Amino acid sequence: MERKKIHQHGPFLSRIIAGAWRWHEVNSKVVEKLIQESLSEGITSFDHADIYGDHENEGSFGNILKQNGSLRNKIELITKTGIKFKSSKRPSTWIKHYDTSKEHILWSVENSLRMFHTDRIDLLLIHRPDLLLNPEEVANVFEQLKKEGKVLHFGVSNFSVRQFSMLQKYLSFPLVTNQIEISLSKIEPILNGDLDYLLEMGVCPMAWSPLAGGKLLAKGKKIVTDAEKYSATVGQMVLAWLLRHPASIFPIIGTTKPERIKELAKATNINLDRQDWYAMLKSSMGEEMP
């Protein structure tokens, strides 16, 4: 599988990223198999967040890294910070909210490093736009973490164009991605200028829920009309539709099944025809292009 820079000054990532948000649903042996199957298919980038699995997924993944010392240098670790919710593991939090204070980001990064058993995070994202975000404070802590070598690159998730550009203004280095929901069931970023802005800035987006939580697989031929033409599955076609966009979208697949990783990784081999791309868009929109 191709590896590509997500930004001119960003890291090389695999064109499809393995998402670990549901990996708490399976045991450690399956998690290890998911990692190995990903690597065997050329998927080297793994997407996490400090809150996934009620704050436990990073640790489960990290235990496997600890047991296999050579594994860390074969992968890229992506994780997120900034969301807090009520949990027995975080007794001081009594309401779901967002926290991008310097204190929380520093604590969160140190905790993620400890959970992963590593000395660096390849890419750290602000998970959600914090309505109390102080851009100078966030820029300051990002600069500190970069200088210390604890985080190599930074980005955001679920940010609007305005929120992205506002934070970028305060940084001396670029935000390298915006992780947003994009799929054939969530086409707004393609139509409303979000992807146009990222193209202009040279920033490749990551797409979370690219299969719409499996709903697109259930719709099957209602969305994908030419899977047979490409000798492809519905899942492969749905990902190929995203990969065809000039913004160089990096889909994040959140499966807990190793065989599904093997299947979906082959989406990178599909060169989707322009008319077929528009045909799939039409199926999603339910109408012709204007």
pLDDT digits (tens, 9 = 90+) for 27-52: 999 999 999 999 999 999 999 999 99
pLDDT at residue 94 in the model: 97
For the residues 134-160, what does the mean pLDDT come to? Answer: 98
**Does pLDDT of 203 surpass 80?**
yes
Distances (CA, A) of 207 to 26, 122, 184: 23, 18, 11
3-state secondary structure of 193: coil
**Does pLDDT of 218 surpass 80?**
yes
Residue by residue, what is the 3-state secondary structure of 116-150?
Answer: HCCCCEEEEEECCCCCCCCHHHHHHHHHHHHHHCC
**Does pLDDT of 231 surpass 80?**
yes
Q: 6, 40 in Cβ contact below 8 A?
A: no
Range 3-285: architecture per CATH? Alpha-Beta Barrel (3.20)
Tell me, what DSSP letter sits at residue 219? H
Higher pLDDT, 219 or 65: 65
Q: Give the span between the Cα atoms of 106 and 166, in whole angstroms.
A: 21
pLDDT at residue 224 in the model: 82
For the residues 239-264, what does the mean pLDDT come to? Answer: 97
pLDDT at residue 220 in the model: 73
Distances (CA, A) of 140 to 137, 172, 249: 5, 10, 29
For the residues 127-136, what does the mean pLDDT come to? Answer: 98
Mean pLDDT across the chain, nearest whole number? 96
Residue 226 one-letter amino acid: D
- Give the pLDDT band of residue 223 (cuts 50, 70, 90): confident
pLDDT at residue 179 in the model: 98
Least confident of 32-46, 90-104, 215-229, 260-274: 215-229
Catalytic center residues? 52
pLDDT at residue 222 in the model: 79
HSE value, Cβ hemisphere, 13 Å, CA-based, for 55? 14
**Does pLDDT of 136 surpass 90?**
yes
pLDDT digits (tens, 9 = 90+) for 163-186: 999 999 999 999 999 999 999 999
**Does pLDDT of 18 surpass 90?**
yes
- Give the pLDDT band of residue 92 (cuts 50, 70, 90): very high
pLDDT at residue 88 in the model: 94
Q: Which is it for strands 12-14 and 3-5: parallel, antiparallel or unpaired?
A: antiparallel
Q: 39, 64 in Cβ contact below 8 A?
A: no
**Does pLDDT of 225 surpass 80?**
no
Q: Where are the beta strands (DSSP E) in the chain?
A: 3-5, 12-14, 17-19, 45-47, 76-81, 83-84, 97-98, 121-126, 151-157, 178-181, 206-208, 250-253
**Does pLDDT of 132 surpass 90?**
yes
Q: 167, 175 in Cβ contact below 8 A?
A: yes
